[in-house]
Structure 1
Amino acid sequence: MTTGYSPPATESDIEWCYDAVHGVSRTFSITIDRLEEPMARHICLGYLLCRIADTIEDAGHIPPAEQTTLLEEFDRVLDPDADTTAEDFREAVEPWIPEERSSDWDVVAHTPRVVRSFESLEDEPREIMREPVRELVDGMAMFTSRYADQGGLRLQTLEELEEYCWYAAGTVGTLITGLVARGTSPERAEVLRDNARSFALLLQLVNIAKDVETDYHEENNVYLPAEWLAEEDVAVERVTDEAHHGGVTNVIRRVTGRAEGYLDGAQRYLEVLPERHGNTLSAWAIPYLLAVGTLRELRERPEDVIREGNVKISRAEVFAVMQQFEQDLSRSALEELRSEMSEKPLHQ
């Protein structure tokens, strides 16, 4: 239940939410800093609602059955026809909040504040956001329930991987598209909807390819398809073993290739993205180009995903990408930047 039963949000609530995003996501922090109002507020709050669910789904210390219960409780908080309040959810999740909170868990602990701020939005953007967020929450509950016996996610096929990516990221793409497409032509809105999935799955698959070691050891989740691991004679529970680095590296290459298949659609999404309601091209083009650079690194050194625990582009390249947007950058320049970053770091 998200309407009518909580005190109104204050300006300090909104300021806290902006600060919270900076603590939990470098990428979305860049995005929100590049947006103007009211889009910045809408994306900030939508992202935090999704992050609450994501933190529960990623929590290796919570038994899967309890994860599912908590996610279902959170969905009822977002259901305007249910009686569950954000305070009810906060009470239910309290036993699972670590004593030493990470930034993610601090957001979970402040769920009533985030929901209160969400409630304060005007009707149109709030209702555009509600269903995609609820779809994400429901999808995560479905996956934690599906793999309850394994104690963590163990995705089996490419189809299941992309199903998971839809719930984790495609729903966010739907949320973004719903907000930015308001008032645009039907033709432009259709192109946005047709390519939103590509934009979202590109970013999610890049994260999955580069975070294999972290996902397994910190969250007890394996997103690399078990069928692909089996082709390399790698048991899912041995995904980070040194003896299997070669096989796992081959699977990471395949996930990287799958992500690259979404580059064209993601670029098309950006080429027609409206700059209205406080939306800006740079807010979404920067994460896209950072993904292009990360894909280059994954192609060149996929073994470092397991050996070093992650693959990232340098801070210098991140800065160079951001500098491209200090002046008005034409949409046509995205193709050139993508081509350049696919071959070498932008700052070199």
Structure 2
Amino acid sequence: MPKIATLDDMRYQEHILQGVSRTFALTIPQLPPALRQVIGNAYLLCRIVDTVEDDNALSSEQTRQLAEMFVAVVNGEVEAETFAQTLYPLLSKHTIPAEHELIKHTPAVIRITHSFNPAQRRALERCIRIMGDGMVAYQQAESLAGLENLAAMDRYCYHVAGVVGEMLTELFCDYSPGINHSKPALMALSVSFGQGLQMTNILKDIWEDRKRGACWLPQDIFLQEGFDLNNLEPGCSDPGFHNGLGVLIGIARHHLQNALAYTCLIPPEETGIRRFCLWAIGMAILTLNKINQKRDFTEGSQVKISRRSVKTSILITSLLAKQDWALQKLFKLTAKGLPENKRNSIVI
């Protein structure tokens, strides 16, 4: 018999969200009450998969086994306690304390997961299965040489973020008949939304990823500009590298423009869901601007947007949340200095 989620479990979920994500701790409370719990839980499930994939102390085989075990936990086929007791002692100092705590309390998170309606559970289970499979495959292929080409980057972004866009769309449509009316159009844009956010993170985290032996940049984009990613070092001033970054910034901008189109398909009266989307888009565009202006940055903190910028973006997008024309004008103004997308990016 499934274990029932308790009030303490709910409180724990709210508490740990503050520790593992500044962004989602801001955006999730904007959602309607009926969505806050399930989307907060979905984020924590994805974070657990991330933790399994990111901890370098785990061997490839351990990563694969733990990812498969967690998929089975979410599906209700393996006890969450077994997973937590297996993974927790293996975590290294590379994993932040809040993630150590999250793994330790996996049973509380899963009790909430198993309390959702069948449609919500199906959406979460599908997302975690695809994410787990993809992350294991890419973890085994990690290298400083980068991904083979832009299509490979698209596939990587789908497994870690595009599928999250699909899951959120399923949850939004389950919540609201009005949103469900636009489901085909929303689903068509959902992967692009996720990719825009993920590409922004990849660009921001180039140097942190390289420190742990990974590079998610596409080789072909840089080779076309005359630069080999094998030669990449912090402080690189090679014009070919900077030009390659410009191409990827333009592609990310295009995906974020699709993310705005997605948001405008949400009925204006669903202001909480619109704010949830708009705040993420706003922070991503501001981050792209910083990366574009400082292509020779050597660590993510140099292109991190300030708290003041975050507050300003939140205020403006909240005031304009119901006005599509104003949001489109704001996006155009904010993205004015960014390169245009001149390459095709394959969205799965």
* TM range, smaller chain: 0.7 to 0.9
Instruction: Say which SS state the counterpart of residue 220 (structure 1) adopts.
Output: coil
1:143 pairs with 2:138: yes
Residue 237 of structure 1 deviates from its aligned partner by: 5.1
Q: In structure 2, what is the equivalent of residue 27 of structure 1?
A: 23
C-alpha contact 1:293 1:313 (8 A) present in aligned 2:
yes
C-alpha contact 2:57 2:91 (8 A) present in aligned 1:
no
Residue 105 of structure 1 deviates from its aligned partner by: 2.6
Measure the CA separation in 2 of the matches of 1:301 and 1:47. Answer: 31
Q: How does 1:90-239 map to 2 (within 5 A)?
A: 90-98=84-92, 101-145=96-140, 147=141, 154-182=146-174, 183-184=177-178, 188-217=182-211, 219-231=212-224, 236=229, 238-239=231-232
Partner amino acid, structure 2, of 1:141: V
Residue 281 of structure 1 deviates from its aligned partner by: 0.9
Q: In structure 2, what is the equivalent of residue 300 of structure 1?
A: 293
Distance 1:185 1:90, change over 3 A: closer
Measure the CA separation in 2 of the matches of 1:117 and 1:106. Answer: 17
Measure the CA separation in 1 of the matches of 2:258 and 2:336. Answer: 20
Residue 296 of structure 1 deviates from its aligned partner by: 1.8
2:45 to 32, 39, 49: 49
Question: Structure 1: 5+ residue runs without aligned partners?
Answer: none
Measure the CA separation in 2 of the matches of 1:254 and 1:175. Answer: 29
Q: In structure 1, what is the equivalent of residue 340 of structure 2?
A: none
Deviates more, 1:44-53 or 1:96-105: 96-105
Partner amino acid, structure 2, of 1:97: L
Q: Provide the TM-score with structure 2 as the length reference.
A: 0.86
1:87 pairs with 2:63: no
Question: How many residues align structurally?
Answer: 333
Measure the CA separation in 1 of the matches of 2:313 and 2:62. Answer: 42
Deviations 1:249-281 (A, max 9, x none): 333222212111213321110001247899521
Residue 102 of structure 1 deviates from its aligned partner by: 2.1
1:260 pairs with 2:256: no
Instruction: Say which SS state the counterpart of residue 337 (structure 1) adopts.
Output: helix
Instruction: Say which SS state the counterpart of residue 181 (structure 1) adopts.
Output: helix
C-alpha contact 1:35 1:280 (8 A) present in aligned 2:
yes
Partner amino acid, structure 1, of 2:91: I
Measure the CA separation in 1 of the matches of 2:279 and 2:300. Answer: 25
C-alpha contact 2:17 2:25 (8 A) present in aligned 1:
yes
Q: In structure 1, what is the equivalent of residue 308 of structure 2?
A: 316
The alignment's C-alpha RMSD in Å is 2.6
Measure the CA separation in 1 of the matches of 2:269 and 2:4. Answer: 27
Q: Provide the TM-score with structure 1 as the length reference.
A: 0.86
Measure the CA separation in 2 of the matches of 1:177 and 1:153. Answer: 34
Residue 110 of structure 1 deviates from its aligned partner by: 1.6
Residue 121 of structure 1 deviates from its aligned partner by: 1.9
1:64 pairs with 2:60: yes
Residue 326 of structure 1 deviates from its aligned partner by: 5.1
Deviations 1:58-97 (A, max 9, x none): 11222222212211111121234x3x22112112213322
Measure the CA separation in 1 of the matches of 2:333 and 2:254. Answer: 18
C-alpha contact 1:34 1:283 (8 A) present in aligned 2:
yes
